[in-house]
Structure 1
Amino acid sequence: MMAFDRRIVLAALAAGAGGTLAIRNLMAQPSAPGPSVSPALPAARPNLYNCEGCEAVGERRATTLAATVDLAGPDEPGERMILTGRVLTADGSAPAAGVVIYAHHTNHDGLYANGSNESMWSRRHGRLRGWARTGADGRYTFNTIKPAPYPDRTMPAHVHLFVGEPGRPPYYIDDVVFEGEFGVTAAYRKACELRGGDGVVRLGRTPDGILLAQRDIRLETHPA
């Protein structure tokens, strides 16, 4: 709303009906727009690129990747789950296109099993891994199964996510974990770095009854 000098208002009121009409006319005038303010960027993490396993992001050519990927085949044991979300720019103002998301997780026994000999990371990460690349809408989707916690119960069930932006080194973001399930405690939440935003998701279901995990990702600010 337009700001008025108190003395002007009092003088107009003292002038009677004519003064009151003048005030109404002033109030009807649109306010001048304020200066535009760009969304603030979060501070860059100095250790952003300290990352075990990030080399796996580059094991597929980005231009060959789709936004929707079948990470687990139809015969993979376990409950089917869709992991999807939108990747946003670091200031959160727009979808980010052309970003590679690499995901891997345990099988229904909690193991990174049956990896191939393609690379060290394919052996270590197991067969349940895949790459998606966002389109203009910033969306990515992995059709997979719900992972299980490690057999020794040292971690909640989780999906590892790594981000590869065009022309930038890759980095990891907070794992996807499932609210209300084993290991997702107040202490766990407190220890989260919130890389790429909050990785704790509430599972829902699609109209077909498939588990649905929605994890939006906000890109990190890069060190200078």
Structure 2
Amino acid sequence: MKTLISLICCSLVLSATHLVNAQEVSNASFIYQASQDLSNTDTIPGFESKTNKLKISGIVYDSDGITPASNIIISIEQADERGDFDVREVNGERYLHNRGFIKTDADGAYTFYTYIPGNDRRFNMLQQLFVKVKEPNDPPYEIASILFDEDPLLTKLCRKRIAKKGDPSRILKPTLVDGVFVAQKDIVLPSVVDALN
């Protein structure tokens, strides 16, 4: 039974999409946020009150993995520390309160101040940051979620499956620095071919 739960958990996390429709930031909401004056740094609501504060910084690269990608909009959204999703509504638009938006600078750099989310207890889901990307003149799309090395639900089997899919870098190993967990997460944008698959 434990193996079955582990397999289900792994199958769910290997998909970049959310499990519950209410968790999704709609494209309309995303595009509205993307139209705002964004910087390359953002802070998730409630950051200051959280126990497991987290600073994620990195460089976004074009699909060649070498060229920094500027003016790329990235959003993250997540559960709170208890694993619950704070879904709110404004003007009929549902969105996750625990989210942030950045636009990469000329060097492709970005930073999010957030916190390590809890496990979604309803679905036995891993601790995850869900990531959405918008390149200039293209619609937003999701990429693989960000995971955490210390997550008790991240089993050996799940790690093997993630490694087989070729993206072990999605598992963060934050280091505690002056009371804040710090992690580097570079992102390589998918090529046109990858995006179509």
Task: Answer whether TM exceeds 0.5 for this pair.
Answer: yes
> 1:169–1:136: structure 2 CA closer, same or farther, 3 Å change rule?
same
- Runs of 5+ unmatched residues, structure 2: 1-16, 19-23
Name which of 181, 199, 215 aligns with 2:170. 199
Name 1:217's counterpart in structure 2: 187
* Runs (4+) off by over 6 Å: none
Contact conserved, 1:89 with 1:218, CA < 8 A, in 2?
yes
Deviation for aligned residue 1:97: 0.3
Once residues 75 and 114 of structure 1 are traced to their aligned partners in structure 2, the CA distance between those partners, rounded to angstroms, is 20
Name which of 84, 96, 99 aligns with 1:111. 84
User: Residue 101 of structure 1 aligns to which amino acid in structure 2?
Assistant: I
- Is 1:58–2:28 an aligned residue pair? no
Residues 62-112 of structure 1 deviation map (CA, whole Å, 9 limit, x = unaligned): 461110011133554432111221101101111100000011001111111
> 1:118–1:187: structure 2 CA closer, same or farther, 3 Å change rule?
farther
> 1:213–1:182: structure 2 CA closer, same or farther, 3 Å change rule?
same
- Other structure's SS at 2:88 match: coil
Deviation for aligned residue 1:152: 3.3
> 1:148–1:69: structure 2 CA closer, same or farther, 3 Å change rule?
same
Contact conserved, 2:47 with 2:115, CA < 8 A, in 1?
no
Name 1:180's counterpart in structure 2: 150
Name 1:83's counterpart in structure 2: 56
- Is 1:139–2:109 an aligned residue pair? yes
- Other structure's SS at 2:159 match: helix
- Other structure's SS at 2:144 match: strand
- Is 1:170–2:140 an aligned residue pair? yes
Deviation for aligned residue 1:171: 1.3
Which piece of structure 1 moves more, 162-171 or 149-158? 149-158
Which protein is richer in strand relative to its size? 2
Name 1:101's counterpart in structure 2: 74
Name 1:159's counterpart in structure 2: 129
Q: Larger Rg: 1 or 2?
A: 1
% identical equivalent positions: 25
User: Residue 169 of structure 2 aligns to which amino acid in structure 1?
Assistant: D
Please list, as runs of the form range in 1=range in 2, the aligned pairs for 1:32-71 lying within 5 A after superposition: 53=25, 55=27, 56-62=29-35, 64-71=37-44
Name 1:92's counterpart in structure 2: 65
Across the two proteins, how many residue pairs are aligned to each other?
172
Deviation for aligned residue 1:54: 5.6
Q: RMSD of aligned C-alpha atoms?
A: 2.8
User: Residue 119 of structure 2 aligns to which amino acid in structure 1?
Assistant: P
Scaled by the length of structure 1, the TM-score of the pair is: 0.67
User: Residue 170 of structure 1 aligns to which amino acid in structure 2?
Assistant: P
